[in-house]
C-alpha cells in the first residue's frame, strides 16, 4: 500500500538487519522502497539490493556533500542507469550547509557535479533525485540553465523529486513549476515542523511523495531511533491529517505518484 521513495538500505546499520527490515515492511504494508546511491563506490551494493529483492529499486549518483570520493563522469552515470532496476539519477543537487570555511564561490565542484547528473538524466530520460540544503536558489537556477525543465499547457512534465523537503512554500512552488514532485520525510511529524506542515498543505496531493531517508530522521513516535522503510506510514498519516484525507487515500495517491515518476519501477 505504501511506497518509501528514498532510503539508504546499503548503509551498514540497515544492511545488518535487512531480513528483519523486509519483514517489518511487509507487516506495515510498505510494498516498495527506492534505495538511493550516494557514491559510485557503493553503487554495486545499492544495485545488488534492488537486483536481489523484488520490492526494492535503485538509483545511481553521487551526493553533493560527499568529498574524497570517485567523481562521476557522464559515462559512469549512463552505465549505471543502463542496469536493470535502476530507475533514477541521484541523489544529486547542492549542499552549502557545511562550507568548512569556504565561500559559496568555491563550491563550483558541487555545481559541476550537479550539471553532470542533470545531463545524465536528460540523456537517459530518468528522473532526478534532488538534494538541496542552504542552496535552493542555485539549485533552481542550474536546473533552469540546463534547460528542458518546464511545464506546458497540458500539465507539468515530471522531471524528478526534491527529496526530504524542508524549504519554503516559495521554493516548493518553483520546483512544482519546473515539473518536480515534492517528497516529505519524518521531519513532517516533528513538533517544531509547523512551518513545513503548512508547506505540505500547499503542495497538491498529486505531486507529493513520502520517504524515510532512513537510517536518518525517524518519524514520531520513533524519533531518535534508527529509521527504516517500515516507518513511512507515519509520514502518510501526517499528510492525511494535514490534508483531511484518509491514510489509505494518501498511500494510494503517493504510490501512484511514485509509479508515474519512476515509471521503470512499475
Indicate left, alpha or beta for 155 from its phi (over 0: left) and psi (-120 to 50: alpha).
left
Residues 105-130, mean pLDDT to the nearest whole number: 95
Report the pLDDT value the prediction gives residue 146, as an integer from 0 to 100: 85
Residues 142-151, mean pLDDT to the nearest whole number: 74
Alpha helices per DSSP H over the chain: 12-15, 18-27, 43-52, 74-81, 108-124, 136-146, 169-177, 194-202, 232-243, 247-261
Number of H helices, E strands in the chain: 10, 8
200 touches 239 (CB < 8 A)? yes
Cross-strand pairs, 95: 133
Which residues fall within 8 angstroms of residue 157, CB to CB, at 6 or more apart?
149, 150, 151, 179
DSSP string, 228-253: -GGGHHHHHHHHHHHHT--HHHHHHH
pLDDT digits (tens, 9 = 90+) for 81-107: 999 999 999 999 999 998 888 999 888
What pLDDT band is residue 149 in, cutting at 50, 70 and 90? low
pLDDT digits (tens, 9 = 90+) for 242-262: 999 999 999 999 999 999 999
Report the pLDDT value the prediction gives residue 152, as an integer from 0 to 100: 39
**3-12, 157-166, 231-240, range with the lowest pLDDT:** 157-166
Question: Cell 530507475 appears where?
Answer: 87
| Confidence check: pLDDT of 132 > 70 | yes
How many whole angstroms separate alpha carbon 118 and alpha carbon 128?
Answer: 7
Candidates 93, 64, 91, 60; CA nearest to 75 is: 60
Give percent above pLDDT 70 in the chain. 95
Indicate left, alpha or beta for 112 from its phi (over 0: left) and psi (-120 to 50: alpha).
alpha
What pLDDT band is residue 147 in, cutting at 50, 70 and 90? low
Mean pLDDT (the chain, rounded): 94
Q: Which class for 185: exposed (0-12), middle (13-18), buried (19 or more C-beta within 10 A)?
A: buried
Q: What is the pTM (predicted TM-score) of this model?
A: 0.95
Phi, psi angle pair for 215, to nearest 5°: -85, 10
Amino acid at each position: 500500500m505504501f511506497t518509501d521513495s528514498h532510503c539508504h538500505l546499503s548503509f551498514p546499520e540497515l544492511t545488518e538487519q535487512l531480513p528483519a527490515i523486509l519483514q517489518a515492511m511487509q507487516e506495515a504494508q510498505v510494498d516498495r522502497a527506492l534505495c538511493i546511491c550516494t557514491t559510485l563506490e557503493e553503487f554495486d551494493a545499492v544495485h545488488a539490493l534492488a537486483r536481489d529483492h523484488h520490492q526494492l529499486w535503485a538509483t545511481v549518483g553521487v551526493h553533493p556533500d560527499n568529498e574524497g570520493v570517485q567523481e562521476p563522469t557522464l559515462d559512469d552515470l549512463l552505465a549505471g542507469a543502463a542496469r536493470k532496476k535502476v530507475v533514477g539519477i541521484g541523489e544529486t543537487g547542492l549542499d552549502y550547509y557545511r562550507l568548512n570555511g569556504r565561500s559559496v564561490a568555491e563550491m563550483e565542484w558541487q555545481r559541476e557535479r550537479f550539471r553532470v547528473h542533470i545531463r545524465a538524466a536528460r540523456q537517459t530520460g530518468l528522473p532526478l533525485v534532488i538534494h538541496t540544503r542552504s542552496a535552493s536558489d542555485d539549485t533552481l537556477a542550474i536546473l533552469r540553465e540546463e534547460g528542458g525543465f518546464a511545464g506546458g499547457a497540458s500539465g507539468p512534465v515530471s522531471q524528478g523529486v526534491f527529496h526530504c523537503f524542508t524549504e519554503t512554500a516559495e521554493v516548493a512552488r518553483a520546483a512544482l513549476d519546473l515539473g518536480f514532485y515534492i517528497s516529505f520525510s519524518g521531519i513532517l511529524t516533528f513538533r517544531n515542523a509547523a512551518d513545513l506542515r503548512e508547506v505540505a498543505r500547499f503542495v497538491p496531493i498529486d505531486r507529493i511523495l513520502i520517504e524515510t531517508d532512513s537510517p536518518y530522521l525517524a518519524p514520531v513516535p520513533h524519533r531518535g531511533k534508527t529509521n527504516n522503510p517500515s516507518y513511512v506510514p507515519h509520514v502518510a498519516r501526517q499528510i492525511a491529517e494535514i490534508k483531511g484525507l484518509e491514510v489509505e487515500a494518501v498511500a494510494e495517491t503517493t504510490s501512484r505518484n511514485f509509479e508515474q515518476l519512476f515509471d521503470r519501477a512499475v
